[in-house]
């Protein structure tokens, strides 16, 4: 398979090498190697149970991988080995922030509070073991004002500003997804990992999501890594796609390459399709992608 | 979108009638043998009498009662739904009302001992209420804010009380010197409990904290050399008025003699009342302030979703331990006051019952609500007091009252949560 062909010479932000995650006898991820180019949108796709979310959990320190390494080229701290970091350090030091397949907001707290909690580490440091905060020292008050400004800024840009004081749990599903992305952005990510950001969105909302993702990469120079089932999102925004099946990488490349890859078609449509003409199967995948878009 | 829901839910008149008729039918069937027929003893022989008119009244009452009950429940439900919808708009107003109520309660608490200066009973009960308020506020940090179910809070209460009792009787420490030290000792115990509980949540955590509470009590019962065992520790020195003892005037200056007052045992009680009032107000100020700081928000965020906290780079270990330590410290300080007020402590005062009442105060008051804790403490201390006339039915009354409150307000008396900061307030005139 062509390694990092789609990266197009862009320096990888994240390199996954021979990553393996076993649960007892089951290899949920089997010897996965994969580069995430900086400043691009990469996607991990695959049928249900292919190990996509497990991969995210390994990447963000929620699981300890059985073998292999994950390296991050941090612009300030040099190369970080993520597989040995606990989950909160992955977010704090390596600045890899993720969202969740089943939204995990703080439902009783307001949207604004959710975004302030995302800046916990900065604020906690400014509050000096809560003492500066308790006495309301100016240094802490400035830090808090900055945090609020940043949160308000993201709320404006994601068109959530009129929801700022609403408890996050009271919002409609699609809006909650956006709040979760806004919250992740407040944590200053180098790499933003989105686990099925389009799940449960209607076509208009997923169209808006596409725009948002493209804008983030263009304006913020963010690197995005998606897990997604919605082909209209994956095929329209990704620069680089990695396809997993049964924990193994079966293909990697640009959306066009993936669309026509026989292994991918086989994984998605099953073994019987192998006997048919390749073009038919490829057409079927494309039809599926188009179907998902409408 | 909301109207769709309520239209579908509102029952028509026919539906209501049918529902009530069903209940009336059951009443009729039950009523025929129970009311319609009755046996009377007529000169040694049993005769069956019929009472159809009474049965008719009974069925009619059941019919109307059901109709009314159903209507009341539906109205309550729809009102709750509208309230949920307008929650955001109403919440700011709600918050202001609660603040006003809080200040009013504060003013009442300030003047209470002056009004009842010669009523020992009232001042004593008020002091007990305040001890529970303080314990409730301490536990509120752990349970209400951080969402860690702690069934052993009385352990920290005990640690604080015994720490003061030992420091005072063995080393002659004064109340004011022992107060912070005993608080710190309790905080250390809080950390000791928190450490093994880091990975536990919900039921499992509750079981471990329950066990911890029992361990402390059993150790106090059995470690006779340290704690005096079941006999407890007696003649614990009472706090003095900054060096001036409350005693009948003798050679040394006393509180009464220095202020030119006639000695009265009420002076000490009133002083103790103001001490616990000051301590609990300090607790309230501390907790209310911390809630608006990063730690406080982290506690609440952790209660809402621990995994999301970790994904945002929060060190959940520190957040949990800080909640346990602070809650334990506040419990310990309340314990110091308790020991100083009683003058005698024994493990009997720190049973699981105590933990359960403190937890009930937090849950009944509305998790995380400071004012709710005050109301719940009032209710939980006053109900058994008012129920003294019912002697052994007192606890039955207590249980029934708790069940009714939880049915009436499942989220606690004050389930309102005030956001720690608002865009509307900060952002309105925001540069």
User: Are residues B69 and B205 located together in one domain of the fold?
Assistant: no
Please say which residue of B85, B103, B133 terminates a domain: B85
Here the CATH number for the domain that contains residue B193 is 1.10.3470
Does the beta-carbon distance from B304 to A97 stay under 8 Å?
no
- The rounded Cα B410 to chain-centroid distance in angstroms is 14
Question: How many whole angstroms from its chain centre is CA B290?
Answer: 20
State what percent of residues in chain B have pLDDT above 70.
92
Taking an 8 Å cut-off on Cβ atoms, the answer to whether A100 and B290 are in contact is: no
Distance from CA of B31 to the nearest CA of A (A): 48
Share of chain A above pLDDT 70, in %: 88
Residue B430 resides in a domain: no
Phi, psi of A56 (to 5 degrees): -60, -40
Distance, CA of A248 to CA of A268 (rounded, Å): 14
Q: How sure is the predictor about A273, in pLDDT bands with cuts at 50, 70 and 90?
A: very low
Q: What is the per-residue pLDDT for B82?
A: 67
Rounded to the nearest angstrom, the minimum Cα separation between A172 and chain B is 11
pLDDT grade, residue A6 (50/70/90)? very low
Domain match, B237 and B378 both: yes
Highest mean pLDDT among A129-133, B124-128, B241-245: B124-128
The number of beta carbons lying within 10 Å of the beta carbon of residue B391 is 7
- The number of C-beta contacts closer than 8 angstroms across A and B is 127
Which of A60, A90, A98, A112 is the best mutation test for B, with the most CBs of B within 10 A?
A112
Q: Residues with Cβ < 8 Å from A171, sequence gap 6 or more?
A: A111, A163, A179
Of A100, A105, A187, the CB nearest to B313: A187
Based on the fold, state whether residues B154 and B68 are members of the same structural domain: no
Strand-pair partners of A224: A41, A192
Check if A137 contacts B (Cβ < 8 Å).
no
Same domain, B254 and B118: yes
Report, as an integer, the average pLDDT of B280-302: 92
DSSP string for residues in B334-355: HHHHHHHHHS-B-GGGGSHHHH
For residues A20 and A29, the answer to whether their CB atoms sit within 8 Å is yes
| SS3 (DSSP) at B48 | strand
Token reading at B107: 């003013």
Q: If you measure CA to CA, which chain B residue comes closest to A60?
A: B311
Write the CA distances from A137 to A38, A144, B350, integer angstroms: 39, 11, 40
Strands B37-42 and A78-81: unpaired
User: pLDDT category, B10, cuts 50, 70, 90?
Assistant: low
Q: Quick one: pLDDT at residue B12?
A: 78
Same domain, B77 and B99: no
Give the strand pairing for A223-227 and A96-98. unpaired
Is the pLDDT confidence value at B2 over 50?
no
Cα distance between residue B364 and residue B399, in whole Å: 12
Which long-range contacts does A65-68 make (Cβ < 8 Å, 24+ apart)? A65/A19, A65/A20, A65/A21, A65/A29, A66/A20, A66/A21, A66/A22, A67/A18, A67/A19, A67/A20, A68/A16, A68/A17, A68/A18, A68/A19, A68/A20, A68/A31, A68/A32
Q: Which residues of B touch A107 (CB under 8 A)?
A: 304
B14 is in which domain, residue-wise? 2-85
A175-196 residue pLDDT tens? 999 999 999 999 989 999 999 9
Q: DSSP for chain A?
A: --TTTTTTTPPEEEEEEEEEEEETTEEEEEEEEEEEETTSEEEEE-STTSSHHHHHHHHTTSS--SEEEEEEEETTTEEEEGGGS-HHHHHHTS-EEE--SS----TTSBHHHHHHHTTHHHHHHHTTTTHHHHTT-HHHHHHHHHHHHHHHHHHHHTT-GGGTTSBGGGS-HHHHHHHHHHHHHHT--SEEEEESTTTT--HHHHHHHHHHHHHHHHHH--EEEEE---HHHHHHH-SEEEEEETTEEEEEE-HHHHHT-HHHHHHHH-GGGGGS-HHHHHHHHHHHHHHHH-
Q: First vs last Cα of chain B: how many Å apart?
A: 36
Residue B380 lies in a domain: yes
* Contact at CB, B422 and A133, closer than 8 angstroms: no
- B390 occurs within a structural domain: yes
Partners of A202 on chain B (C-beta within 8 Å) are none
Band (pLDDT 50/70/90 cuts) for residue A287 is low
- ipTM confidence: 0.84
Burial of residue A105 (CB within 10 Å: 0-12, 13-18, 19+) is: buried
Best residue in B312, B318, B325, B412 for a mutation probing chain A (most A CBs within 10 Å): B312
Q: Of A16, A83, A23, which is closest to residue A49 (Cα–Cα)?
A: A23
Residue B83 has what pLDDT?
59
CB B362 within 8 A of CB B140: yes
SS3 content of chain B, % helix, strand, coil (to 5): 75, 5, 20
Sign of the CA dihedral running B107, B378, B123, B232: negative
> Are B59 and B122 within one domain?
no
Q: From the CB of residue A182, how many other CB atoms can be counted at a distance below 10 Å?
A: 23
Indicate yes or no: CB of A164 within 8 angstroms of CB of B424: yes
Higher pLDDT pick, B322 / A271: B322
Q: Examine the fold and report which residue of B39, B66, B85 is the final residue of a domain before the chain moves on.
A: B85
State residue A263's pLDDT score.
85
Q: Is residue B427 part of a domain?
A: no
Which domains, and CATH codes, for chain A? 1-95+190-294 (3.40.50.300), 104-188 (3.40.50.300)
Q: What is the DSSP letter of B46?
A: E
Q: Is residue B129 part of a domain?
A: yes
Average pLDDT of the segment spanning B310-321: 91
Average of per-residue pLDDT values in chain A: 84
pLDDT at A232: 79
C-alpha B334/C-alpha B160 separation (Å) is: 7
Query: What DSSP character marks residue B119?
Result: -
Q: In chain B, what residues touch A130 (CB-CB under 8 Å)?
A: 290, 293-295
Greater model confidence, B431 or B49: B49
Q: How far is B179 from chain A (nearest CA, A)?
A: 20
Q: What is the pLDDT of residues B391-405, one digit of tens each?
A: 677 778 778 877 888
Task: Check residue B338 and give its pLDDT.
Answer: 94
Shared domain for B105 and B65, answered yes or no, is: no
B428 belongs to a structural domain: no
CA angle B200, B202, B207 (to 5 degrees): 75
**What does the pLDDT look like over B180-202, one tens digit per residue?**
999 999 999 999 988 888 888 77
- Name residues whose C-beta falls within 8 Å of residue B409's C-beta, 6 or more positions apart in sequence: B366, B415
Q: Nearest-CA residue of chain B relative to A114?
A: B301
∠ CA B359-B363-B367, nearest 5°, is 115
Of A178-192, A257-271, B224-238, B296-310, give the lowest mean pLDDT range. A257-271
B301 contacts A109? CB cut-off 8 A: yes
One domain, residues B81 and B95: no
Closest CA to B374 of B131, B144, B146: B131
Residue B312 to residue A62, Cβ atoms within 8 A? no
Tell me the average pLDDT of chain B: 85
Q: pLDDT (tens digit, 9 = 90+) per residue, A89-110?
A: 888 888 999 999 999 999 999 9
- Residues A21-36 have a mean pLDDT of 88
What does each C-alpha distance from B247 to A172, B5, B242 come to in angstroms?
Answer: 66, 69, 14
- Backbone dihedral angles phi then psi of residue A79, each to the nearest 5 degrees: -80, 125
The pairing of strands A191-195 and A223-227 is: parallel
Please list every residue in chain A whose beta carbon sits closer than 8 Å to the beta carbon of residue B88: 165-167, 170
Q: How many CA atoms lie within 13 A of B123 on its CB side?
A: 22
Give pLDDT, residue B43.
Answer: 81
Whether residues B157 and B206 fall in one domain: yes
Domain count, chain B: 2
Instruction: Choose the final residue of a domain: B85, B106, B121.
Output: B85
Please answer yes or no on whether B419 and A97 come within 8 Å at the CB atom: no
**Average of per-residue pLDDT across B280-309:** 92
Task: Give the C-alpha separation, B154 to B352, whole Å.
Answer: 7
A 201-260 near B (Cβ less than 8 A): none
Angstroms from A131 CA to nearest CA on chain B = 10
Same domain, B136 and B222: yes
What are the backbone dihedrals phi and psi of residue A7, each rounded to the nearest 5 degrees, phi first? -60, -20
Asked whether the beta carbons of residue A104 and residue B424 sit closer than 8 angstroms, the reply is: no
Whether B151 is in a domain gets the answer: yes
Query: Would B431 be classed as within a structural domain?
Result: no
Q: How confident is the model at residue A293 (pLDDT cuts 50, 70, 90)?
A: very low
- 8 Å CB contact of B311 and A60: yes
> What pLDDT band is residue B76 in, cutting at 50, 70 and 90?
confident
Contact A78, A72 (CB under 8 A): no
Rounded to whole angstroms, how far apart are CA atoms B243 and B424? 50
Mean pLDDT of B336-363: 91
Characterise B368 by phi-psi region: left (phi > 0), alpha (psi -120 to 50), beta (else): left
Cα separation of B213 and B331, whole Å? 13
Residue B309's alpha-carbon distances to A229, B10, B195, in angstroms, are 26, 41, 19
Instruction: Give the SS3 label for residue B50.
Output: strand
Q: pLDDT band at residue B408, thresholds of 50, 70 and 90?
A: confident
Same domain, B215 and B69: no
Report yes or no: A26 and A50 within 8 Å, Cβ to Cβ: no
Q: Which residues numbered 152-191 in A keep a CB inside 8 Å of some CB on B?
A: 152, 155, 161, 164-167, 170, 183-184, 187
Phi, psi of B71 (to 5 degrees): -60, -45
**Separation of alpha carbons B46 and B383, rounded Å:** 47
pLDDT category, B4, cuts 50, 70, 90?
very low
* Structure-block tokens of residue A93: 């030091």
Instruction: For residues B32 and B104, state if they share a domain.
Output: no
């Amino acid at each position: 398979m062509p390694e990092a062909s789609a990266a197009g010479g862009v320096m990888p932000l994240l390199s996954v090498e021979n990553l393996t995650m076993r649960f007892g006898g089951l290899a949920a991820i089997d010897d996965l190697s994969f580069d995430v180019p900086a400043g691009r949108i990469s996607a991990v796709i695959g049928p249900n149970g292919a190990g996509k979310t497990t991969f995210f959990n390994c990447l963000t320190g929620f699981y300890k991988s059985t073998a292999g390494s994950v390296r991050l080229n941090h612009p300030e701290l040099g190369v970080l080995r993520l597989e040995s970091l606990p989950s909160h350090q992955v977010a704090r030091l390596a600045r890899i922030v993720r969202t969740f397949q089943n939204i995990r907001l703080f439902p009783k707290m307001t949207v604004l509070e959710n975004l302030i909690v995302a800046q916990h580490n900065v604020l906690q440091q400014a509050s000096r073991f809560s003492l500066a905060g308790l006495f309301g020292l100016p240094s802490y008050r400035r830090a808090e004002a900055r945090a609020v400004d940043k949160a308000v800024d993201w709320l404006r840009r994601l068109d959530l500003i009129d929801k700022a004081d609403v408890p996050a749990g009271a919002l409609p599903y699609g809006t909650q997804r956006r709040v979760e992305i806004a919250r992740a952005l407040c944590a200053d990510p180098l790499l933003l990992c989105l686990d099925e950001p389009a799940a449960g969105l209607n076509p208009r909302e997923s169209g808006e999501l596409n725009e948002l993702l493209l804008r983030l990469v263009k304006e913020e120079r963010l690197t995005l890594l998606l897990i997604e089932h919605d082909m209209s999102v994956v095929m329209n925004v990704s620069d680089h796609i990695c396809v997993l099946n049964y924990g193994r990488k079966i293909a990697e490349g640009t959306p066009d390459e993936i669309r026509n890859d026989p292994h991918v078609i086989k994984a998605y449509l099953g073994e019987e399709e192998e006997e048919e003409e390749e073009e038919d199967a490829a057409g079927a995948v494309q039809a599926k992608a188009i179907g998902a878009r409408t | 979108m909301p109207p769709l829901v309520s239209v579908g839910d509102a029952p028509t008149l026919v539906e209501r009638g049918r529902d009530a008729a069903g209940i009336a039918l059951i009443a009729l069937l039950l009523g025929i043998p129970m009311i319609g027929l009755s046996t009377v003893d007529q000169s040694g022989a049993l005769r069956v009498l019929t009472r159809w008119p009474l049965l008719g009244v009974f069925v009619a009452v059941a019919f109307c009662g059901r109709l009314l009950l159903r209507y009341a429940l539906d109205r309550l439900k729809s009102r709750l739904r509208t309230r949920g919808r307008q929650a955001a708009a109403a919440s700011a107003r709600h918050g202001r009302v609660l603040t006003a109520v809080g200040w009013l309660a504060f003013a009442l608490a300030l003047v209470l001992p002056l009004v009842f200066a010669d009523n020992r009973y009232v001042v004593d009960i008020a002091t007990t209420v305040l001890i529970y308020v303080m314990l409730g506020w301490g536990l509120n940090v752990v349970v209400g804010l951080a969402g860690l179910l702690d069934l052993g809070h009385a352990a920290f209460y005990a640690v604080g009380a015994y720490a003061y009792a030992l420091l005072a009787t063995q080393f002659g420490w004064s109340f004011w010197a022992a107060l912070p030290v005993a608080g710190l000792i309790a905080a250390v115990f809080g950390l000791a409990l928190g450490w093994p509980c880091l990975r536990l949540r919900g039921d499992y955590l509750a079981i471990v904290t329950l066990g911890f509470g029992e361990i402390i009590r059993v150790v106090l019962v059995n470690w006779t050399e340290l704690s005096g065992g079941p006999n407890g520790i007696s003649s614990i020195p009472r706090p003095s008025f900054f060096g001036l003892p409350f005693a009948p005037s003798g050679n040394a200056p006393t509180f009464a003699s220095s202020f030119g007052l006639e000695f009265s045992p009420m002076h000490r009680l009133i002083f103790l009342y103001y001490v616990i009032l000051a301590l609990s107000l300090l607790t309230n100020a501390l907790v209310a302030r911390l809630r608006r700081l990063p730690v406080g928000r982290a506690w609440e965020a952790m209660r809402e979703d621990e995994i999301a906290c970790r994904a945002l780079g929060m060190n959940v270990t520190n957040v949990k331990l800080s909640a346990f330590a602070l809650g334990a410290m506040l419990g310990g300080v309340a314990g110091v006051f308790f020991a100083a007020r009683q003058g005698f402590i024994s493990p009997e005062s720190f049973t699981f019952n105590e933990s359960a009442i403190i937890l009930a105060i937090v849950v009944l008051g509305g998790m995380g609500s400071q004012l709710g804790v005050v109301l719940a403490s009032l209710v939980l201390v006053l109900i058994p007091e008012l129920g003294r006339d019912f002697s052994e039915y007192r606890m039955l009354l207590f249980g029934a009252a708790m069940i009714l409150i939880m049915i009436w307000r499942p989220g606690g008396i004050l389930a309102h949560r005030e956001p720690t900061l608002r865009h509307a307030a900060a952002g309105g005139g925001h540069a």
